[in-house]
Amino acid sequence: MSETSIPIAKLAGVCGWPIHHSLSPVLHNYWLRQAGIRGAYVPFMVKPWDAIRAFRSLKQTTISGVNVTLPLKTSAFRAADEATADAHRIGVANCLFMRDGKLIAHNTDMEGFISPLLQRRGQAWLRQRTALVIGAGGAARAVIGALIAEGVPEIIIVNRTDETADDLVTQAGLPSFYSLPWAQRSLATHRAGLIINASAAGMSGYPALDIDLSRAPETGLVYDLIYTPERTPLIAQAEAQGLETIGGLSMLIGQARPSFRLFYGVEAPASDPSDLLRQALMTGQR
């Protein structure tokens, strides 16, 4: 067999610092097995201070692409030769892939966030709601970008550090998107048919999100991006009040599907991998 005819396994992965906690390898390798693709998806530790050089060196390899997680999403965006419209919109990348020899920055968090919401309630519902977004980091940018793209008519942002939320509003420059002081977060739920926690509060190792949902509309939906733990204190509070909820596992799966398509050239299998991910979360297996 000549050297050129040896089939090369399709290789992709996820970069972070640290990266041992990521569920993405469990998910992508499960899909690879299900789809019968000869390939692998591996975690890569990438030093934040050397991330741009590390990402650019991908062009010298046969790695077809990588997902990028904290704290490397801005470096990934900066390292790329070009960026897709979704990555440009929010200025951070959670996905790098190769196209015609160039390194392309993309963001699948927007699609990952919005898909479960569209499946659950649809675009017409979204276009009649006020959304309250809690947090102003990278995930909040993706959430806000997706809500604007879907035509949500009013978006309120609150963040523990008020100035960061104010900066996002100034950058966007849209009359339908404004900030309220952190001190008014519980009051703001009164107007919000859709309440989204895009902050780190409630994640394992962090304090619970300090918010009172008792004023939220009865028909409201609470969406927590966090999936460690799966049932966050915010989800528990919402359920106790009879509010509908969406947890972070849905977004994790939603953002992984377009990445899989880009890395391996086929759609991820349609079956729901939530139970597999729950098991990995419980056992700590990666």
Q: Which residues bind ligand NAP (CB under 6 A)?
A: 70, 109, 112, 135-140, 159-161, 164, 198-201, 203, 206-207, 225-227, 248, 251-252, 255
Binding residues for shikimate: 22-24, 69, 94, 109, 227, 255
What is the bridge-based pairing of β-strands 63-68 and 95-99?
antiparallel
Burial (CB count <10 Å: 0-12, 13-18, 19+), residue 44: middle
DSSP type of residue 161: S
List strand residue ranges (DSSP E) for 51-113, in order. Answer: 63-68, 82-83, 95-99, 102-106
Task: Note whether 52 and 22 are within 8 A (CB).
Answer: no
Q: Which residue is catalytic, options 10, 47, 73, 102? A: 73
d(CA 231, CA 233): 7
Q: Is 213 helix (H, G, I), strand (E, B) or coil?
A: coil
73 belongs to the catalytic site:
yes
Q: To the nearest whole angstrom, how small is the minimum distance from the Cβ of residue 197 to ligand NAP?
A: 8
Identity of the residue, 75 or 255, whose beta carbon is nearer to ligand NAP in the bound complex: 255
Task: Note whether 200 and 228 are within 8 A (CB).
Answer: no
Q: To the nearest whole angstrom, how small is the minimum distance from the Cβ of residue 249 to ligand NAP?
A: 7
d(CA 182, CA 134): 9
Identity of the residue, 41 or 98, whose beta carbon is nearer to ligand NAP in the bound complex: 41
Q: To the nearest whole angstrom, how small is the minimum distance from the Cβ of residue 175 to ligand NAP?
A: 23
Ranked by CB distance to ligand NAP, the top (closest) residue is: 137
d(CA 230, CA 97): 30
Identity of the residue, 153 or 207, whose beta carbon is nearer to ligand NAP in the bound complex: 207
Binding residues for NADP(+): 135-139, 225, 248
Task: Note whether 195 and 132 are within 8 A (CB).
Answer: yes
Among all chains, which residue has been given the structure tokens 């951070």? Answer: 92
Identity of the residue, 95 or 98, whose beta carbon is nearer to ligand NAP in the bound complex: 95
Residues 6+ apart with CB under 8 A from 275: none
Identity of the residue, 93 or 136, whose beta carbon is nearer to ligand NAP in the bound complex: 136
d(CA 235, CA 224): 7
Q: To the nearest whole angstrom, how small is the minimum distance from the Cβ of residue 253 to ligand NAP?
A: 8
Q: To the nearest whole angstrom, how small is the minimum distance from the Cβ of residue 84 to ligand NAP?
A: 18
For the annotated catalytic residues, the residue numbers are 73
